[in-house]
Amino acid sequence: METLQKFVEYSQEFSILEISYFVASVLFIVGLKKLSHPDTARSGNLWAAFGMGMAILFTILFHKVKQNDGHYEGIGNLGWIFGGLIIGSVVGWVAAKKVKMTAMPQMVSLFNGMGGACAALISLMEFPHVPQDLVARYGMTNGYTLAVMLGLLIGSVSFAGSMIAFGKLNGNIGDIKAKWLRYVNMALLALLLFLVVFVLLQPEKPEMIAIYAFAILALVYGVSFVMPIGGADMPVVISLLNSFTGVAAAMGGFLYDNRAMLTGGILVGSAGTILTILMCNAMNRSLLNVIIGAFGGSSAAGAQDVDKTVKEITLSDAAILLSYSQKVYIVPGYGLAVAQAQHLCHELDKLLADKGVEVKYGIHPVAGRMPGHMNVLLAEADVPYEKLVEAEDANQEMPNTDVVIVIGANDVVNPAAEEDPSSPIYGMPVIRVWEAKNVIVMKRSMAKGYAAIENNLFYHPKNRMLFGDAKATLQQLIAEIKSL
């Protein structure tokens, strides 16, 4: 009778736990759906976070661990668990509140790297616990071992690659533009895949020292994989690494037969993969080309055959030109984020709208340092989503646009992408701002963009340069328009 009672109690708790995982999975899907639109993105993030919090809480309360004598006990080490949750929550909250918009890509890379590290550590911890009955029956050729090895490989690559991406975005690490590194990377990847197959073909568990060596090799590959990539390719790399972390987390879901972990990993992995493909299409390049043929740095092509006469415009002339226009496009870039001028940019567009000017924002998919960087930046300033126009649609309106203001963007408005076959960015779709009637480029200097190539737009006959910090310049420009 006592055994039956224990069985019923365990079954009830198990059912509650499984139901909580199902609800959490649904909340992940709902959250992801809401993230597809800026108006609902905030609530979508909260719904998904609530689902994860519920899954964690119900696991602590209802998960049972089978003991050697056959009975089930709840999770132990609660002090360590809650201590980790509290410390992690406080650190994450403070970091997210204090991070500047310019450093948001670095934070995304850092958080993503932590996810990859967790997945890799899970695999390291679970390898010694590959079920002995599976090993006795099938050797190491079983799904459990495969999930462990793939989780360790992908998680380690994601962690190491994300840390290198963090360093590059933060300006601490440079690029290695060496062709030989491509061959080293291909050799390392082939070796890692061979070792996965080799472990799977073993009749018994290998020594842990071999698995640690495999993890170290995967970390080395993660570093060497990202080192050659730089310039305008970084948003694609961040998206790709995000998808890696999702796949690694899904491997953990297989290991623990955890529906919430599996669903979350699949959603992150698939969403990251789709985004990576979309970003590659936006750059008119294949993923392989991004990985082994990165933009930037080595080409002197650009404005060498162009008349390098630079024309400037005064604040008063710019204010008059904008005030008496019918349609104005604003093309933001990373410089806008650096200057923290997104709120002033929105103030300018509202001021022009009050004068009867139609104002829209041309958004290039790879503007900034991470996918959707400009969308997030402008959403923070409460710019209506309806005013954000994708690059392809914006290009159709350029001939009928009176003025385009380029604020901090560089590579995504470079005519060399269409006019100079020798340019590293040739073939990349850009916003054809030079087709508008007038162009005003706001920049602090004539410096090159993140792809490290010169911009022919600066010398275009329709372009006028308005030099200065974007925030200070916008403040002065708004004052001039108000005084008209």
Catalytic residue list:
411
Q: How many CA atoms lie within 13 A of 458 on its CB side?
A: 24
Side chain identity, residue 335: G
457 touches 434 (CB < 8 A): yes
User: Which residues make beta-bridge pairs with 390?
Assistant: 363
Distance from C-alpha of 365 to C-alpha of 373, rounded to nearest angstrom: 9
441 touches 465 (CB < 8 A): yes
| Sheet with 388-390, side-by-side order of all strands | 388-390, 358-363, 327-332, 403-407, 438-443, 463-467
H/E stretch holding 66 reads strand 64-66
User: Which letter does DSSP use for residue 441 in this model?
Assistant: E
In angstroms, how far is the first alpha carbon of the chain from the final one?
Answer: 90
Q: How large is the angle between the packed helices 179-200 and 208-226, nearest 10 degrees?
A: 150
Residue 449 CB-density burial (10 A; 0-12 exposed, 13-18 middle, 19+ buried) = buried
Reading the block at residue 166, the tokens are: 């963090």
Cβ-based neighbours of 305, under 8 Å, separated by 6 or more = none
Distance from C-alpha of 322 to C-alpha of 482, rounded to nearest angstrom: 12
Distance from C-alpha of 228 to C-alpha of 182, rounded to nearest angstrom: 8
H/E stretch holding 65 reads strand 64-66
Distance from C-alpha of 300 to C-alpha of 370, rounded to nearest angstrom: 26
User: Which residues make beta-bridge pairs with 407?
Assistant: 332, 442
